[in-house]
Amino acid sequence: MEEDCEESSSARAFYSCDFDWQELREEIEGARSPEVGSVGLSSSTHASSGPDLTYRRTSPSQTGIDVILEAERSRGADGGKPAFCPSAWEAFHRNHSKALFFKERRYLVKEFPELVDNPRAISVLEVGCGTGSSVAPILRANKNATCYGCDCSAAALDRAELLVAGQAGLLESQNKKFRPFLCDISVQSFPSWLCCSSCRATSLQSCGPSQDDNGVNSRSTSAEQMQQSSEGSCCVGGVSIVMLIFTLSAIPLERMRHVLAECAAVLRPGGHLLFRDYGLYDMTMLRFPSAQKLADRLYFRKDGTLSYFFSLEVVRELLTSVGLVEEELQYACVQLVNRRKQVPMKRVWVHAKFTKPETAAVCTR
């Protein structure tokens, strides 16, 4: 879940570099006192009222990808109990149902030109599409795009459909090119109409196996429409672009690679995974009180949602571990100003584009 101020600056800010990340790191680390007994995931309980997570104290030297791998091992030891309840996001979107909490991400079509520059028809899947703030500007900018969007919150999907349907400048045929479906991808798999089991198996040969195959509780009407759109083929045939925009940071550590393996499975060979999320030492990370820290770089909000702050190294290791190839990976460092308080705000996001090798086979329509 991104902060609203992330959306309030000009599009230019989202692909500029206002300060040096390494200098920010040195500034923060130099001012920080040594942490004692930082918190990581395991089986003991904690007194604070965070999400339904269990964890243990870890060595301060255990950071980054090591913490994620340890969380995966801990999940295997405790039988794979889900790490959080998606009802936190459902409650969040119901509480903000009167207004669009996240403004349109118009910067995405400039940040990722693949979304609009391709003269051919493209299919885009946004994982964690929320209220449609990403898909709306894409559909408006590219008449050849079909956008699928999944989210664990039915309330968010309702808002997304209303947002797209009410877009000025969109033809009725374009409105029909937004196809939302309900899916908690942290514990489920994508539906078979998106990429059938035989095609997934072929595709996953170069991506590593998915950890779960629990099916999807998708909206029945949307599923029927999407099955009909496959025109009698075994499935839609995967998608040419997968977007993870401020989504992976809200996924429990031990589920991140499952989510990425699912994304790689439905991505067509030569397709792109477009990623944008919180970066290490972002202003919001520094504002979290220590009582809300669950593990290195992982915090919980009072509404029960999670927020992880990525380094480039962690993003690289996670995405290459599911068979994707790095094309772009960098910090986006943007300095904003709080207009009311005139306080500078240093925002750090990770921008990445990874590609699925052409040798990975998947069916096409």
Question: 3-class secondary structure for 200-244?
Answer: HHHHHCCCCCCCCCCCCCCCHHHHHHHHHHCCCCCCCCCEEEEEE
Those residues whose C-beta lies under 8 Å from the C-beta of residue 80, and which sit 6 or more positions away, are none
Q: Which residues pair with 272 in a beta bridge?
A: 241, 355
How high is the pLDDT of residue 234? 85
Please tell me the distance from the alpha carbon of residue 201 to that of residue 206, in angstroms, as a whole number: 10
Q: pTM score, two decimals?
A: 0.79
The residue ranges of the chain whose pLDDT is under 70 are 1-16, 32-62, 75-102, 168-175, 202-232, 360-365
The token pair that represents 137 in the structure block: 């500007």
C-alpha closest to that of 361 among 200, 174, 149: 200
The token pair that represents 139 in the structure block: 């559909």
How high is the pLDDT of residue 169? 58
**How do beta strands 306-308 and 293-295 pair?**
unpaired
Report the greatest alpha carbon distance in the chain: 62
Q: 55-89: buried (b, 16+ CB within 10 Å) or exposed (e) per residue?
A: beebeeeebebebbebbbebbeeeeeeebbebebb
| Other CB atoms within 10 A of residue 324 CB | 28
Q: Inter-axis angle of helices 256-266 and 65-77, to 10 degrees? A: 100
Please tell me the distance from the alpha carbon of residue 308 to that of residue 69, in angstroms, as a whole number: 15
The token pair that represents 55 in the structure block: 């964890």
Contact 56, 38 (CB under 8 A): no
Q: Which domains does the chain have, with CATH numbers?
A: 4-355 (3.40.50.150)
Residue 274 DSSP SS3 = strand
**How do beta strands 325-338 and 343-355 pair?**
antiparallel
C-alpha closest to that of 214 among 236, 240, 239, 186: 186
List own/partner pairs for 72-77 with CB under 8 A and 24 or more apart: 72/253, 72/254, 72/257, 74/41, 74/42, 74/43, 74/254, 75/254, 77/43
Please tell me the distance from the alpha carbon of residue 245 to that of residue 337, in angstroms, as a whole number: 23
Residue 321 DSSP SS3 = coil
**pLDDT tens string 174-206:** 657 999 999 999 999 999 999 998 887 766 444
| Other CB atoms within 10 A of residue 44 CB | 8
Please tell me the distance from the alpha carbon of residue 289 to that of residue 13, in angstroms, as a whole number: 28
Q: In what order do the strands lie in the sheet with 298-300?
A: 293-295, 298-300, 306-308
Q: Tell me, rounded to whole angstroms, the distance of Cα 34 from its chain centroid.
A: 31
Please tell me the distance from the alpha carbon of residue 256 to that of residue 113, in angstroms, as a whole number: 26
Amino acid identity of residue 72, one-letter, is: E
Please tell me the distance from the alpha carbon of residue 123 to that of residue 64, in angstroms, as a whole number: 33
Please tell me the distance from the alpha carbon of residue 356 to that of residue 147, in angstroms, as a whole number: 19
**pLDDT tens string 74-92:** 765 544 444 455 566 566 6
